[in-house]
Amino acid sequence: MDASTAPAQTSRVHTWLGEQRPWRQRALAVIAGAVATLGFAPFQLTLLYVAAIVALVWLLDVAAARPKRLGAAFATGFYFGLGQFVTGLYWVSSAFMVDSAAWGPLWGVPAALALGAGMALFWGAGALLAMLLWAPGVRRIAAFAIAMFAAEWLRGHIFGGFPWNLPGYVWTPGEPISQLASVIGIYGLSLLTLLVAATPAAVADGGARAGARFAPTLIAALAIGLAWGWGMQRVAGAPIELPGAQVIVRVADSGLSQADKWTARPDQEWRVLERYLEASGAPEDSRAQVVIWPEGAIPVVNFFTLEDQDFLDAIGRGLGDRVLITGLSRRELRPEGVAHFNSAAVIDGVSGVPRLSQIYDKHRLVPFGEFIPLWDIVGGLNIAPLQRIGAGFEAGPPPTRMVVPGGPPAIVLICYEAIFPGLTPRGQDRPGWIVSVTNDAWFGAGTGPWQHYAMARYRAIEEGLPLARAAAGGISAIVDSYGREISATQGRVDYAEAQLPPALSETIFTQHGNLFLALMLVIALALRFVLPK
């Protein structure tokens, strides 16, 4: 190996990996990436994620010895990413099965592979950058963490961003390590995770003294132990539920699959409404003052919900004096045509009379799922988004807090908006809780709904705000400001109900944003460029 980039001396593991043919090394990278997926929900096997990252570092050590090391590094990172993202995002194909006549497996499987390959390009680019920074010993660990963090940051921001399964999500939300997100956010936790997970690779630095090989891992373990202790202390004195006048919230699901909800029948909206009213409970029997229905709760088969007064009156009778927050599709008639929106509405029931008070139009739309990028160019190809509404939905302004009669003001995040940190207003505009409405029936019955739920819980930790989540076909739940689950629909198909947990004061993350993340990057750079060779 090149002395400027390789570990102190070739070890047995490096020798064995170096003896493998390139295709076998790439296969090992794919397998390691697939193993890394087990670190995320619903498995949360963090140690397997660590093992996968260590394997990736060793494979990059081998790539560093090749004449064309930059190309070898890119291929290694790409194939690792391919294994991780195809196994982590396979459920995307389920969305195409809903309308199998129009899409089906001939589109679903290639779409999942294409998405996985697209995300893997970021890991390939990260590995290439890491190779440019590669150095002997523990310094390469810092180089790896910096480069892969940069790749994950870009993945979460470029072209609108898709920050799904960031490294920091391998820590179970609500447990002690996850509490660090209240200080450094999910990106800071991801940088820390990459650094800690890569550190054990130094154990195989053949020729180095035992202290040099094992000390980095011991230091990383100590850091995780201190973080665990701090997190335990943070949540130890936090009650699950406080007595008092906090509003009682019920999140409800119809229990219908995506295909069942969209059956083309003249009474389909009414049939689905009946299921939601049953899950919401009769006004005289329910303790809840606020009821939440998921994204697009009522299908648009025959009419739009807000345009049918008889339908709204039926909702009002079902509400009584309760408040409903529901996801829905709506349209606006404009001179240039019809604009469609994926929206959420607050409907205040007053003695059985509905009163539409506020509407939020989704700000971050899913490319190809809710709109077609560059529609003016590709429109002639007859490609339709999955929701089958013309060119798709239009985006609304960023989320702002909404008044909820009888409860604290809320912010509504629709579907995958909940995977983006920082959308919640700060300062005087800070809400008292987060409402997440989503249609996870698109994801099928696999790991997708669990991953989405785990990521949404991190928004509660970052913001110090309770979360009420209504997910069609997924996990509906009420979560406290520490990301701990209070009540959920696991094992129950229709609703979860609990007193809304109290909000915390602004967290360090909400007060200072990415300041501590920047400090962590400075420390990581110092580890790479200041540590002696």
Name the residues annotated as catalytic: 295, 362, 415
The three-state secondary structure class of 449 is: helix
What are the structure tokens assigned to 375, written together? 């529609």
Spatial neighbors of 60 by CB under 8 A, at least 6 apart, are 73, 76, 77, 127, 130, 131, 134, 140, 144
Spatial neighbors of 522 by CB under 8 A, at least 6 apart, are none
Closest by CA position to 84, among listed 53, 106, 107: 53
Residue for token pair 């200041």: 530
Spatial separation of the C-alpha atoms in residues 11 and 34, rounded to whole Å: 25
Are 291 and 497 a contacting pair, CB within 8 Å? Answer: no
Spatial separation of the C-alpha atoms in residues 111 and 117, rounded to whole Å: 10
Closest by CA position to 507, among listed 240, 185, 82, 51: 185
Are 250 and 90 a contacting pair, CB within 8 Å? Answer: no
Report the 10 Å Cβ neighbour count for 469: 31
**Residue-wise burial string across 518-528, b where 16 or more C-beta atoms lie within 10 A, e elsewhere:** eebbeebeebb
- In degrees, rounded to 5, the angle at the alpha carbon of residue 29 between the alpha carbons of residues 24 and 30 is 95
Q: Are strands 248-252 and 495-499 parallel, antiparallel or unpaired?
A: antiparallel
What are the structure tokens assigned to 104, written together? 């089906």
The three-state secondary structure class of 218 is: helix
Q: CA separation (Å) from 308 to 116, 302, 388, 414? A: 42, 10, 21, 23
